[in-house]
Chains A and B, each alone.
Chain A
């Protein structure tokens, strides 16, 4: 399957990735070949196989409902670009 430049631009935008136009042909080629591999796998009859949700074939371990974390706001906010009144400040987003 061969991807268009617009496909790459769309997924890059959704992932908020900036792409150097010079690298575009390379990305088109690599991502298209990954989809070729998917096509190849799609051709295999998997009718009787239960899909895996994870490469490790085991179940989720559950944690008891206990509060184990203490307040470490000072440390976390020390590495934040901007904070005020205990809040993390970010560029304005409005509905």
Chain B
């Protein structure tokens, strides 16, 4: 039988506020355990949560960016369960009335077409602490620094039909929250993580199958692998005539398998109810408009502008707008190059990004500034250097030897465009290689490459290649 997978994602994005969602404790990552866990985060008796204005603003910003309905009135609810990293015995979340309602965004598929993915809702909630299970004489250590960090949980519609689509959607949300500057997107530190709901159905069937939820996927690669391995597991069960259990599973990246979280076998009954400590959050349409006005140019808008005004291919525009930092860098290169946008796109997506990847450096820490790269591109465009020599210049800029003009001057890399100089060199080469000249003239065309090579060697690669070609043809065909 042919099977179809149905995937929905729940993405947790930590909001980049300075303080927690309901307390004035700091949210910085990597500080000593429990030094940022105040009485409110610890769930001490008698404390009162007070909502962080910035967390609300960030949630609304996200909502307006995906054309979602923003609730004029949203309500916080208690989600009740017992776990040591949740000291109150409940998580403050939103249930019936989330702050962000239905919205959508478009993902690009491999064949170049695009697909609209629905976002069911996005709600505000508090993050839990961290449990450490090793080395405490059989006990569990609890660090509550993360408890109370604001989270935006973004719930998608079950609109994705392959692991690749799920990853494309997750990348899109990742790029969006970073464009909006509401989440740092750091997956290693857990600022951006994802749960996947996966079910199978015979192709063509309308009803959904029973789904399993895979928890805590914290890299794009793991999401893709975990979904594919879960698809195989469910198909195996179904083809043997079995049924998939509705359950929560964990992905083990070391073994590349998903397994049931046994402790959660007892069905969860969260008994949500409105949190009496918090009043409804009310937003006027003016409040919402005010926030909408702060939206930056969004990735898809930027991509469209890059294709239209820079004449880039959709692919290049997609790569260059994948992060705001890269897009800004590229635009600065274009300006410094005197609007050589295509050459700039080739260099940024080619040698420049390859060098960053090879060195494992983020673009924000690039040793080559946009101004220096743009300056070099300008010298390619005005024929001061050839594309080949430019690679040498680029390397020198990377190594901190100065800007392109300084390097070209110091190393004498200026392209030779004086045709009489090139002609003199060619004459000498022809005189020194009578046998090859003879063979070429009697029809051995392949030897043309030999003469080009000799000329470039004699000029240390500085001769203008197009000029060399036409002068050689002229001289050899005499």
A54 vs B274: C-alpha distance when bound (angstroms): 8
A68 vs B39: C-alpha distance when bound (angstroms): 12
A18 at the interface (CB under 8 A from B): no
Considering the complex, give the chain A residue whose CB is closest to the CB of B82.
Answer: A16
Among B25, B50, B142, point to the contact of A89 (Cβ < 8 A). B142
The tally of residues in A whose CB lies under 8 Å from a CB in B reads 37
A92 vs B84: C-alpha distance when bound (angstroms): 9
Considering the complex, give the chain B residue whose CB is closest to the CB of A62.
Answer: B53
A65 vs B150: C-alpha distance when bound (angstroms): 11
Known: A59-B279, A85-B33. A90 touches B142 (CB 8 A): yes
A-contact bits for B16-40, CB 8 A (1 contact / 0 none): 0111000111100000111111110
Q: Is the CB of A56 within 8 A of B141?
A: no
Considering the complex, give the chain B residue whose CB is closest to the CB of A61.
Answer: B50
Among B34, B138, B276, point to the contact of A54 (Cβ < 8 A). B276
Known: A91-B140, A92-B133. A73 touches B282 (CB 8 A): no
For B425, what are the chain A residues with a Cβ–Cβ distance below 8 Å?
Answer: none
Known: A53-B279, A65-B19. A92 touches B138 (CB 8 A): yes
A47 vs B58: C-alpha distance when bound (angstroms): 34
Q: Is the CB of B83 within 8 A of A93?
A: yes
Q: Is the CB of A62 within 8 A of B52?
A: yes
* B397-415 residues at the A interface, CB under 8 angstroms: none
A20 at the interface (CB under 8 A from B): no
For B133, what are the chain A residues with a Cβ–Cβ distance below 8 Å?
Answer: 92-94
A-contact bits for B69-87, CB 8 A (1 contact / 0 none): 0000001000010111000
The tally of residues in B whose CB lies under 8 Å from a CB in A reads 54
Q: Is the CB of A68 within 8 A of B281?
A: no
Known: A58-B279, A86-B143. A76 touches B34 (CB 8 A): yes
Q: Is the CB of B19 within 8 A of A90?
A: no
B315 at the interface (CB under 8 A from A): no
Q: Is the CB of A60 within 8 A of B263?
A: no
Q: Is the CB of A73 within 8 A of B51?
A: no
Shortest Cβ distance from residue B280 to the other chain A in the assembled complex, whole angstroms: 5
A58 vs B51: C-alpha distance when bound (angstroms): 14
A92 vs B131: C-alpha distance when bound (angstroms): 10
* B276-300 residues at the A interface, CB under 8 angstroms: 276, 278-282
A68 vs B40: C-alpha distance when bound (angstroms): 12
A78 at the interface (CB under 8 A from B): no
For B75, what are the chain A residues with a Cβ–Cβ distance below 8 Å?
Answer: 53
Considering the complex, give the chain B residue whose CB is closest to the CB of A64.
Answer: B53
B111 at the interface (CB under 8 A from A): no
Among A14, A16, A68, A89, point to the contact of B271 (Cβ < 8 A). A14
Q: Is the CB of B84 within 8 A of A93?
A: yes
Q: Is the CB of B136 within 8 A of A60?
A: no
A-contact bits for B248-261, CB 8 A (1 contact / 0 none): 00100000000001
Q: Is the CB of A87 within 8 A of B279?
A: no
A69 at the interface (CB under 8 A from B): yes
Q: Is the CB of B136 within 8 A of A89?
A: yes
For A84, what are the chain B residues with a Cβ–Cβ distance below 8 Å?
Answer: 136, 141
For B37, what are the chain A residues with a Cβ–Cβ distance below 8 Å?
Answer: 73, 76
A54 vs B463: C-alpha distance when bound (angstroms): 80
B424 at the interface (CB under 8 A from A): no
A17 vs B276: C-alpha distance when bound (angstroms): 21
* B41-61 residues at the A interface, CB under 8 angstroms: 42, 50-56
B132 at the interface (CB under 8 A from A): yes
A5 vs B82: C-alpha distance when bound (angstroms): 23
For B144, what are the chain A residues with a Cβ–Cβ distance below 8 Å?
Answer: 88
A44 vs B74: C-alpha distance when bound (angstroms): 25
Interface residues of B (CB under 8 A from A): 17-19, 23-26, 32-39, 42, 50-56, 75, 80, 82-84, 89, 97, 131-133, 136, 138-144, 250, 261-263, 269, 271, 274, 276, 278-282
What are 7 pairs between A and B in contact, CB < 8 Å? A60-B281, A65-B18, A69-B24, A69-B36, A76-B34, A85-B141, A87-B143
18 new A-B pairs (CB below 8 Å) besides A16-B82, A68-B19, A93-B133? A59-B282, A60-B280, A60-B282, A61-B50, A62-B51, A62-B56, A65-B18, A66-B24, A67-B26, A84-B136, A85-B33, A88-B84, A89-B141, A90-B142, A91-B139, A92-B138, A94-B133, A95-B261
